[in-house]
Chain A
Amino acid sequence: KQEVTQIPAALSVPEGENLVLNCSFTDSAIYNLQWFRQDPGKGLTSLLLIQSSQREQTSGRLNASLDKSSGRSTLYIAASQPGDSATYLCAVTGNTGKLIFGQGTTLQVKP
């Protein structure tokens, strides 16, 4: 059974810092991995999707890497801003397309 773990559960940093969020999964037979952002009381916003054949994806200040063989992904956020404060969720896609989510990392960026 696929399990997804995210570390740390919570993170507080001053504005401007670069930071890394970690995600690990137990079964390397995945189709892709997605990073989502969730704001309180709102739905999910997809940030980056990495196909299983890819190593990384970049969007603006965000960079996500995938090491499928070791079951790890990282989300790198450069020059963090208070507006980046949210919960970040990692999810892997299995053979039916359904997403298996980690518990999330709650990020607070202090001005």
Chain B
Amino acid sequence: GAGVSQSPSNKVTEKGKDVELRCDPISGHTALYWYRQRLGQGLEFLIYFQGNSAPDKSGLPSDRFSAERTGESVSTLTIQRTQQEDSAVYLCASSLNPLRFGGGPYEQYFGPGTRLTVT
């Protein structure tokens, strides 16, 4: 079946502009995660959605970053007034309910990422 998809695959923007990144999770996956990977660094957790629960925003680096998710489908990550330090690959992942009773977190499936370059 279809995996996690992300768009655009590449985005070049000028400093100060706003950008929107999109993630389409695997159908039926209630959990959705955004991660960021800056050049030469590891992956950093940004935000996590689980069903209709309040999202875990603990990884968002500043108030310029926000994300929304419509039900259990598409999510958009918005970065306002982009800065050069925002340049990174933004990865989205989805999984089944990670904390269902009797089980632990499920395997996360990653999309190909969006490479954002802020000039």
Contacts from A to B (Cβ < 8 Å): 31-32, 34, 36, 41-46, 49, 51-52, 89, 91, 93, 95-104
Task: Give CA–CA (A43, B94) in the complex, Å.
Answer: 13
B1 smallest CB distance to A (angstroms) = 16
Task: Give CA–CA (A49, B105) in the complex, Å.
Answer: 11
Task: Determine if B104 and A52 form an interchain contact, defined as CB atoms under 8 angstroms apart.
Answer: yes
The verdict on A93 contacting B104 (CB below 8 Å), with A98-B45, A100-B45, A103-B41 known, is: yes
Per-position contact with A for B91-114: 1 when CB-CB < 8 Å, else 0? Answer: 101010011000011111111110
The verdict on A43 contacting B113 (CB below 8 Å), with A97-B105, A98-B45 known, is: yes
Task: Determine if A31 and B105 form an interchain contact, defined as CB atoms under 8 angstroms apart.
Answer: yes
Give how many B residues have a beta carbon under 8 Å from the other chain's beta carbons: 28
Per-position contact with A for B11-55: 1 when CB-CB < 8 Å, else 0? Answer: 000000000000000000001010100000111110010100000
Q: A102 — which chain B residues lie within 8 A by C-beta?
A: 42
Task: Give CA–CA (A96, B33) in the complex, Å.
Answer: 11
Task: Determine if B45 and A97 form an interchain contact, defined as CB atoms under 8 angstroms apart.
Answer: no
Besides A36-B110, A46-B108, 14 more A-B contacts (Cβ < 8 Å) are A31-B105, A34-B107, A41-B115, A42-B112, A45-B110, A52-B104, A93-B104, A95-B99, A97-B50, A97-B98, A97-B105, A99-B33, A102-B42, A103-B42
A19 smallest CB distance to B (angstroms) = 21
Q: Which of B43, B50, B104, B112 has a CB less than 8 Å from the CB of A99?
A: B43
Q: For B6, give the chain A residue with the smallest CB separation.
A: A43
Q: A103 — which chain B residues lie within 8 A by C-beta?
A: 41-42
Q: For B40, give the chain A residue with the smallest CB separation.
A: A103
